[in-house]
Structure formats: C-alpha cells, structure tokens
C-alpha cells in the first residue's frame, strides 16, 4: 500500500487541478466583476465630482471679480482722490510734496477699503506722465508692512491692465509677482468733469491659501493655483505636493483626469489653464483634486469579505471532491498494476473489469492493446535497425561527396605542371635526340598524356553540372570511365574487355550523368569481383537495337540472388556492409537513364555473374550536324600567319617559356607578361595580332583584363583568347559562354596550341 501512494496522490492531484480550477473560476470572476464595476463607479463618481468642482471653481472666481468690480468702481468718485487728481493736473505743484501727500492718502484709502474677506495687498496711483512731460511716470504705492511685492515688478506685470484703464475701462485680472498671486483692479481717475484721464488707481488683493481653502470647501475638493510652473496658492498648504503634481503642472491642457497619491491618500485630479484677463502676466492655471480614498477602502473591505467566503467554500468543495475521487480511483490503480507489468515486457496480463461505463471500455481497450504489443514491438525493432543502417549509409555518402570535391581540387592544381611536362617533352621529341633518349621521351610523353586523360576525367566527373543535352559517342564515354578506374582494375587483377560496334550511332544526353551511370555499374562489378577466387573479368559490348543504342556490361562474379535482384534499383538497398555503400548508386542510375528516355535492366544467376543492359535512343542526323564543329587539332598551319606579333600572359614562368618557345619556332614574334597590369602596359605601347591569356593570375584575372581592354582598347579585347586549367569554375564557364571567347584547356599538346593560335589569328 505504501508503494501505491505516490501514484494515487498524483492521479488525484491531476483530477483535482481542473476541478479546483473550475471551482475557483466563479469567485475569481465575481471578484473581478466587483472590482471592475466598483472601480468604474467610484471613478465615474469622482469624475462627476471634479466636473462639478470645476464649475463651482470657475463661477467662484468670476464672482470674486464681479465683487471686486462692485466694491471698488465708486472709489474714483472719492473727494480726496478727486482733490489729489487736481494736484496731479497742476504742473506747478512741487513733486516731493505731491508724493508725500499721495502716500498718506493711499495708506488711508487702503485702510478704509480693506475688509476681512478682501484685505488689500497694495494700492497705487500712477500719474499719466505724457500729459505733463514727465519721464518716468509718477508712481506712489501703499502696501501691507510685510508685503514682498516689488513696485517695479508689479507695474510690469500689471501694465496691460493699466493700459486698459487708460482707455477709460475698469480692468480686472490676475497677476503673479514675486511669488504672490494678486487679483488687480485698474481704475481711470479724472479731474472734476474734465475728459482727460490724469491718473490710474490700481488696487491689488492677494489670493491667499485661505481663499483657496474657502473655494475648495464650496467645490468639495482641494484647490491649487498654478503660476510660472509652480504652485502659487494651495488649499493643502501643509503638505509637500511638488513631486505629486509636477506631471499635472507640465500638462495643464490635458482634458483627462489623473490619479495622484499624496501622503498615502488617493486623489483624482484635473488641471487646466486659467484666463487671467492679463496677457502681459504669466499664464495661470489651476488644479482640482478630489479624494476617492474612502470609496477605495470600501471596495477593499468588500474584496476581503468575498475572498474569505470564496476560500472557505473552495476548501470545503476540494475536500469533498478529493474523497470522491479516491473512491473512484480503485479500478485505475488496478489498471496501473497491469500496465507496469506490460512495461516490464509481460504482454499476457489482462484487466478483468465487468463494467459498462468508461472504465469498462478502457479495460477492454487495454486487453486489446496488450494483444497487439508483441507484434508492434517486433516491427519497431526492425524499423530501428533499418533507420540505423540508413543513417550510416547517408553519412558514408556525405564522406564520398567531400572526397570528390577534394579530388577535383587536387586535379585542377595538376594542370599547370602537366602542361609544362607534356609541352617540353614534345619539344624534345622533335628536337633531334638519340634513339635511346627518344625512347625515354616517348615514355614521358605517353605517361604525361595518360595523366592528362586522368586529370580531364577526374575534373569532368567531379564537376557539378546542370543537366545538358549534347551529342555523346558511347565509346568515348566508356573509355573515359575505364581510364578513371584503370589503376583499381589493374591492382585488383580485373581485366576489362571492350567490343564496340563501329556502326553504333551517337546518342543525345548529358555526358557527365551518363558517365556516372557507367562508373557506378563498373564499380559495383569491381566490388563483386574483389573476393572472387577466379580471375576477374568485365566485358563491355555495344550494339545497335533498332533505333536504340545498347550497352551490355557483364562480369564473371558470384552473381545476385533472385530476392535481391528485384530490389537492386530501390533507394538505400545495398548488400554491402555498413560503411561500404549508400544504397543510392543504382537508384540514381535508374533515374538518369529514365530521364534520357532509355531503360536499364539487370539479369543474373548465382555463380554465373551479372549483366546490366542499358538502352538509349540514338541521336537524329540533324542533332549530329548541328553540333559538328571544326577540331582545332585538325586545323592546318598557314605560312601567311608567320611574323604575327603575339602577347602571352601567364603567372607561371615555365608556361611562358614553353609557349614562347613553341610559337617562336612557328615564326611568330612573341612577348610575355606575368600579370594583367604588365599586359595592359604592353598593349598600350604595342599593337598585337593576338593575346593568349591565363584566367587565374595574381592581381587582375584573365576575365578582368578582358573587361578593362573592352573599355581602353576594344580591338585588342577582340583578339584575346584564354588558356586555363580552371575547367571546373562555374563563373569562368559562364563568362566564356557570355563572351564566346576561345579557350585552350590545360594541359595542352603542341598540336592543340598551334592549331588554336592559328585558328584565332585567321578569325581575327
């Protein structure tokens, strides 16, 4: 029982998770709805309170302006002020006495006009200086003893209001001076019944924190007046508000309400501009804030209550479900025991459960499963072995591909020295040597030509070709493959016999793909003959079969069994050990022959070898005629060409020496250059009848030299032919196809060089 507990707990836990999830989903949704609706409600209420507060604030400020207008509009009719205006209008008055009289009068007037609700911060009287030719204007002021307002700063801030008063208008507005927010009334002053204004009376009432508090009481919100990017007046004077309201101050035009946290209390705030009626003063603004802390606290209390009730119900429900699942899990524990036995390899176990519910269906399915597992296991093991074999075959194929690329690179590097070896050996042959030396040279020439053919076949086979369709002579195709395998056949003591039908027509196909087909079949035959006790022999016969060309390749090896013979063209099928073959060779051969419109078959008898029969459509006469071109080696020399001037360009000294020697013996005048830059310099000084240029050189390559000549000397560019060992390079092949320039492939014989040069000179 102790061993069963983890599984029982795990099963119950897996069932409980979705059950608990469903049980918890309802209270979670309820809590979310309550919170969402609650937040929406108190935000809506708060926004409504702020809208109401803003309307009250706006009306209150307008009322204050109206009250100031009503309160001070009749001051200009004061007898003392009229008498003082008469003094201002008399140009003979002593200004010192006038200033003393004005200050005393203004001080008395400020005392008389101040009230508890609107204490006057300062009161000033400004003479109209232009009327009396005085500069600057006469200004006198009376203010509260503790006032910090500077007279000049005040008049600069209130100059627009004074200007409006000079236009016979009572101007009311707000100014912000030396950190004080002031409401200002500017009144024009006349002398008796004269129409000219002799002075402007300016009365400034400070907007204090107490006033902000009173407005906040009316609007049921906190009120702040903003001026010059800072709080000028606030109903929350005892709190540090800078960090909280700075974002609001920087965005006074935002119509949206914003949440603000001040000393742990949550507020909703709106900020806006306030028209001060005074464009010369700093633009003012205000911030109204309404707390929703109480609503938020009520919402949190409701959430806690809901959480408590929900968790209690959830725990009780989970306990009931846990007990119920424990009782229902007994059949599953029995199924677990049987499944563990099956997991150990015992497929004879059966689950006896006589029920018609889902567990009964599960028991019957389990019994059917155990009956099929033995067969499935055997098939799986077989499949795994097949996959392992396929993996090894693919790895081997990748290795062979890499080796092929390496061989192609090495073969290309052999072209230059082979050119020198063949050329100098042929020169010595025709240079008059002893009979003994002539024999040695004959061996050198034949060996060099053999190396030449091997290199050509290796490069041709290793090169990646796009499928092409050209006229192909079957005998030449087969000989090129035999040349590639000559060493392996000789060292494995395998004799290759050929019999070609002289009347066999050529075919149209891709030389390199067909070369791969012959190579794969010969290689398979060679591998089959490696362990044969008798002398190995491979026969290759060509013959005509109606309008088809037939190739028969047979060996005297051990043969192929009937069961394997039907599968040898299947992909990945091979009878070789792991690592010795990929199983793809013959399937590729089959695909290539089918693409050429032909057929390939295999026949064999155990102990009597195997025969592969390939049939391909013969070429039509028009295909053969279309591809006929003159063989450079057959072109005759021309005595009229002697004396022509030729420039040979190559970075290999022995190639230059060989080419120069051959061409000078034929009567040509030959210059040499070891790179493209030297060639350009030589062409600029001398007119050449022909340029023979290597493709791969340090600095400018042959193709780059040609393109430069096209710009600087097009005539010389037309007389340029190439010689190169780079017959694998796709870029150079594309260049030759584009420009249609002749190219002499290294290694070349004396006859090939002479014929190519003669043909190029005749064409130019």
720 in Cβ contact with 736 (< 8 Å): no
- State the residue range of the domain holding 263: 222-292
Work out how many domains the chain is built from and give that number.
4
Of the listed ranges 101-110, 298-307, 388-397, the least confidently predicted one is: 388-397
CA distance to 473, 525, 548, 622, per residue, from 598 (Å): 16, 21, 8, 20
Average pLDDT over residues 186-207: 82
Residues 190 and 115 in one domain: yes
For residues 479 and 608, state if they share a domain.
Answer: yes
Asked whether residue 473 is domain-assigned, the answer is: yes
Q: Residue 349's pLDDT is what? A: 66
Quickly count helices (H) and strands (E) in the chain: 22, 22
CATH classification at residue 656: 3.40.50.2300
Tokens of 431: 């240079």
150: number of CA atoms within 13 Å, CB side? 7
Tell me the β-bridge partners of 618.
507
Measured CA to CA, the distance from residue 292 to residue 260 in angstroms comes to 10
Interval 581-597 mean pLDDT: 76
Query: Full-prediction pTM beyond 0.85?
Result: no
475/590 same-domain check: yes
Report the DSSP pairing between strands 743-745 and 720-724.
parallel
SS3 637: coil
Percent of residues, the chain, with pLDDT higher than 70 = 76
The pLDDT of residue 584 is: 60
On the question of pLDDT at 357 being above 70, the answer is no
In a domain, 23, yes or no: no
Q: For residue 255, give every residue at least 6 positions away whose Cβ sits within 8 Å of its Cβ, in sequence order, or none.
A: 270
Q: Is residue 216 part of a domain?
A: no
Domain boundary, last residue among 292, 315, 333: 292
Q: Tell me what the mean pLDDT of segment 631-644 comes to.
A: 60
Q: Distance (Å, rounded) from C-alpha 97 to C-alpha 77?
A: 23
d(CA 721, CA 746): 13
Evaluate whether 560 touches 610 at the Cβ level (below 8 Å): yes
pLDDT, mean of residues 132-144: 59
pLDDT recorded at residue 317? 76
Q: Is the pLDDT of residue 541 over 90?
A: yes
Q: In what order do the strands lie in the sheet with 180-190?
A: 139-143, 120-127, 197-206, 180-190, 171-177
Burial class (CB in 10 A: 0-12, 13-18, 19+), 176: buried
Q: Which helix (H) or strand (E) holds 220?
A: none
For residues 603 and 488, state if they share a domain: yes
pLDDT of 637 higher than 60:
no
Same structural domain, 248 and 187? no
420 part of a folded domain: no
How far is residue 314's CA from residue 302's CA, in Å, rounded to a whole number? 18
Least confident of 242-246, 314-318, 581-585, 699-703: 581-585
User: Are 108 and 77 in the same domain?
Assistant: yes
* pLDDT tens track for 3-15: 444 444 556 666 7
Q: Which residue has the higher pLDDT, 16 or 132?
A: 16
With a pLDDT cut of 90, the percent of the chain lying above it is 5
pLDDT score, position 135? 47
With respect to residue 240, please indicate whether it lies within any of the assigned structural domains: yes
Residues 681 and 608 placed together within one structural domain of the fold = no
- Residue 339 CA, distance from chain mean position: 49
Could you tell me the pLDDT band of residue 671, with boundaries at 50, 70 and 90? Answer: very high
Contact assessment for residue 680 and residue 708, using Cβ atoms and an 8 Å cutoff: yes
The answer to whether position 692 is within a domain reads yes
- 2: which 2 tokens? 């102790």
The answer, yes or no, to whether residue 463 has pLDDT greater than 60, is no
Q: Does 610 lie in the same domain as 517? A: yes
Instruction: For residue range 403-458, list pLDDT tens digits in order.
Output: 555 655 565 567 667 776 777 777 776 666 777 777 777 767 766 666 766 666 55
- The reply to whether 719 and 745 lie within a common domain is yes
For residues 714-720, give the mean pLDDT: 89
Q: Is residue 612 part of a domain?
A: yes
Among candidate residues 144, 171, 206, the one where a domain is terminated: 206
Q: What is the mean pLDDT of the chain?
A: 77
Q: Kindly tell me if the per-residue pLDDT of 133 is higher than 70.
A: no
**491 within domain boundaries:** yes
Most confident of the ranges 108-122, 540-554, 584-598: 540-554
Residue range 146-181, pLDDT digits in tens: 778 887 888 888 888 888 888 888 888 888 888 888
The CATH number for 92's domain is 3.30.450.20
Could you give the CA distance from residue 458 to residue 414 in angstroms, rounded to a whole number? 11
Closest among 670, 641, 667 to 658, alpha carbons compared: 670
Residues 498 and 577 in one domain: yes
Q: Pick left, alpha or beta for residue 761 (phi over 0 → left; psi -120 to 50 → alpha; otherwise beta).
A: alpha
- The span from the CA of 526 to the CA of 537, in Å, is 9
Q: Are residues 647 and 601 in the same domain?
A: no
- pLDDT score recorded for residue 552: 93
User: Are residues 590 and 647 located together in one domain of the fold?
Assistant: no
Lowest mean pLDDT: which of 112-116, 270-274, 333-337?
333-337
Strand partners, 692: 648, 721
Strand, coil or helix: 695? coil
Beta pairing partners, 272: 286
Is 70 exceeded by the pLDDT of residue 664?
yes
Strand partners, 61: none
Q: Which pLDDT does position 630 carry in this prediction?
A: 43
How far apart CA 177 and CA 342 sit, in angstroms, is: 94
Convert the pLDDT of each residue in 477-486 to its tens digit.
Answer: 898 888 878 8
Mean pLDDT of 526-548: 83
Tokens 């290793």 locate to 462
**Listed residues 599, 627, 655: the one ending a domain:** 627
Helix ranges (H only) for 344-434 are: 358-429
């Amino acid at each position: 029982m102790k061993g069963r507990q983890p599984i029982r707990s795990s099963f119950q836990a897996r069932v409980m998770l979705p059950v608990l999830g469903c049980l918890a989903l309802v209270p979670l949704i309820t809590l979310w709805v309550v919170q969402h609706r609650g937040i929406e409600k108190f935000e809506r209420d708060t926004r409504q309170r702020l809208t109401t507060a803003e309307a009250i604030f706006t009306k209150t400020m307008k009322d204050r302006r109206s009250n100031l207008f009503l309160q001070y509009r009749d001051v200009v009719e004061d007898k003392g002020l009229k008498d003082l205006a008469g003094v201002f209008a008399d140009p003979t008055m002593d200004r010192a006495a006038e200033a003393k009289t004005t200050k005393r009068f203004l001080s008395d007037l400020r005392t008389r006009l101040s009230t508890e609700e609107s204490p006057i911060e300062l009161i000033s009287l400004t003479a109209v200086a232009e009327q009396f030719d005085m500069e600057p204007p006469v200004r006198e002021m009376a203010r509260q003893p503790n006032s910090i307002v500077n007279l000049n700063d005040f008049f600069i801030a209130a100059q627009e209001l004074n200007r409006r008063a000079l236009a016979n208008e009572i101007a009311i507005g707000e100014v912000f001076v030396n950190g004080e927010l002031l409401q200002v009334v500017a009144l024009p002053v006349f002398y008796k019944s004269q129409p000219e204004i002799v002075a402007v009376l300016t009365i400034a009432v400070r907007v204090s924190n107490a006033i902000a508090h009173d407005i906040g009481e009316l609007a049921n919100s906190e009120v702040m007046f903003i001026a010059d990017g800072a709080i000028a007046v606030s109903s929350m004077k005892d709190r540090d508000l800078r960090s909280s309201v700075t974002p609001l101050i920087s965005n006074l035009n935002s119509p949206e309400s914003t949440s603000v946290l001040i000393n742990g209390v949550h507020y909703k705030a709106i900020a806006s501009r306030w028209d001060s009626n005074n464009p010369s003063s700093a633009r003012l603004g205000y911030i109204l804030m309404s707390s929703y802390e109480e609503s938020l606290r009520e919402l949190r209390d409701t959430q806690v209550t809901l959480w408590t009730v929900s968790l209690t119900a959830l725990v009780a429900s989970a306990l009931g479900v846990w007990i119920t699942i424990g009782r229902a899990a007994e059949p599953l524990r029995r199924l677990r025991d049987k499944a563990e036995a099956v997991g150990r390899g015992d497929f004879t176990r059966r689950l006896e459960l006589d029920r018609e519910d889902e567990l009964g269906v599960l028991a019957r399915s389990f019994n059917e499963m155990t009956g099929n597992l033995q067969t499935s296991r055997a098939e799986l093991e077989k499949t795994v072995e097949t996959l392992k074999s396929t993996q090894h075959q693919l790895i081997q194929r990748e290795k062979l591909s890499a080796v092929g690329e390496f061989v192609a690179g090495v073969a290309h590097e052999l072209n230059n020295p082979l050119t020198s070896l063949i050329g100098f050996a042929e020169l010595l042959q025709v240079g008059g040597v002893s009979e003994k030396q002539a024999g040695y040279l004959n061996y050198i020439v034949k060996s060099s030509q053999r190396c030449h053919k091997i290199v050509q076949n290796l490069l041709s086979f290793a090169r990646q070709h796009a499928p092409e369709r050209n006229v192909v002579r079957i005998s030449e195709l087969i000989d090129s493959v035999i040349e590639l395998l000559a060493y392996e056949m000789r060292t494995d003591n395998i004799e290759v016999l050929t019999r070609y039908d002289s009347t066999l027509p050529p075919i149209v196909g891709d030389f390199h793909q067909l070369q791969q087909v012959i190579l794969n079949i010969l290689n398979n035959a060679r591998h089959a003959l490696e362990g044969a006790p008798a002398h190995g022999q491979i026969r290759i016969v060509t013959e005509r079969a109606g309008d088809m060309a037939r190739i028969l390749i047979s060996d005297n090896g051990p043969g192929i069994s009937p069961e394997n013979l039907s599968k040898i063209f299947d992909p990945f099928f091979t009878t070789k050990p792991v690592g010795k073959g990929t199983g793809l060779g013959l399937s590729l051969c089959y695909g290539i022959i089918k693409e050429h419109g032909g057929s390939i078959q295999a026949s064999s008898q155990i102990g009597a070898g195997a025969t592969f029969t390939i049939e391909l459509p013969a070429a039509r006469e028009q295909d053969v005629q279309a591809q006929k071109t003159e063989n450079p080696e057959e072109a005759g020399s021309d005595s009229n060409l002697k004396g022509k001037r030729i420039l040979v360009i190559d970075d290999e000294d022995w190639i230059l020496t060989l080419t120069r020697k051959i061409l000078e013996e034929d009567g040509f005048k030959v210059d040499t250059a070891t790179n493209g830059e030297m060639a350009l310099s030589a062409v600029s000084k001398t007119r050449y009848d022909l340029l023979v240029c290597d493709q791969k050189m340090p600095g400018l390559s042959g193709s780059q030299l040609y393109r430069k000549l096209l710009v600087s000397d097009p005539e010389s560019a037309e007389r340029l032919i190439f010689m190169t060992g780079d017959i694998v390079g796709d870029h150079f092949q594309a260049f030759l196809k584009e420009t249609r320039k002749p190219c002499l492939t290294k290694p070349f014989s004396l006859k090939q060089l002479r014929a190519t040069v003669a043909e190029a000179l005749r064409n130019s």
